[in-house]
């Protein structure tokens, strides 16, 4: 299997910059294969560790891994929880990669992802533009309270 990197829906890229926010999927990789690969990159972490930290019962996770329980109806928050666990462990992965592995598009970004994206953009602005952005946000908040 080869990785087809597809940053933000763009066409395939041969040598991507592996930014943590970059979306990528391995073509044809289902959830059990994805989890096995990511656990292999997790330096001694086990299915039990993943289950405990993601708030998923070990029997459920193990059933997904052994393909004795379907994965197409997994709660999106469970998928996001696994992404966050792997990221805490220092493994690069994205929600898109998890959702693709169960054959679904990623529903809109979570609140945490939107905040992280906004902070990333804010930090790239010069200081004067950061101040202007804060003023605009404050004005938007005031306006939303009057409507």
Burial of 90 from C-beta contacts in 10 A (0-12 / 13-18 / 19+): exposed
16 backbone dihedrals φ, ψ, rounded to 5°: -75, 155
CA distance readout (Å), 69 to 11, 17, 36, 59, 66? 33, 35, 16, 10, 8
| 61-95: pLDDT as tens digits | 999 999 989 888 898 999 999 999 999 999 999 88
**Residue that the structure tokens 């998923």 belong to:** 56
pLDDT of 18 strictly over 60? no
Q: What is the pLDDT of residue 26?
A: 67
Cα three-residue angle 118-124-130, rounded to 5 degrees:
75
97 within 8 A of 25, measured Cβ to Cβ: yes
pLDDT, greater one: 13 or 123 = 123
Banded model confidence at residue 109, pLDDT cuts 50, 70, 90: low
State pLDDT tens for residues 26-43. Answer: 667 899 999 999 999 998
**Global pTM exceeds 0.85:** no
Half-sphere exposure of 115 (CA within 13 A, CB side): 3
Average of per-residue pLDDT values in the chain = 82
How far, in Å, CA of 39 to CA of 17, rounded? Answer: 22
């Amino acid at each position: 299997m080869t990785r087809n990197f597809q940053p933000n829906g763009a066409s395939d890229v041969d040598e991507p910059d592996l930014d943590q926010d970059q979306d990528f999927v391995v073509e044809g990789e289902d959830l059990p294969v994805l989890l096995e690969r990511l656990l292999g990159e997790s330096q001694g972490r086990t299915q039990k560790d993943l289950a405990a930290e993601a708030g998923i019962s070990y029997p459920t996770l193990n059933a997904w891994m052994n393909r004795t329980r379907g994965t197409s109806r997994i709660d999106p928050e469970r998928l996001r929880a696994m992404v966050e666990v792997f990221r805490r462990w220092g493994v690069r992965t994205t929600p898109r990669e998890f959702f693709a592995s169960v054959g679904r598009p990623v529903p809109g970004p979570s609140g945490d992802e939107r905040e992280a994206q906004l902070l990333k953009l804010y930090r790239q602005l010069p200081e004067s533009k950061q101040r202007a952005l804060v003023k605009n946000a404050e004005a938007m908040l005031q306006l939303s309270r009057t409507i």
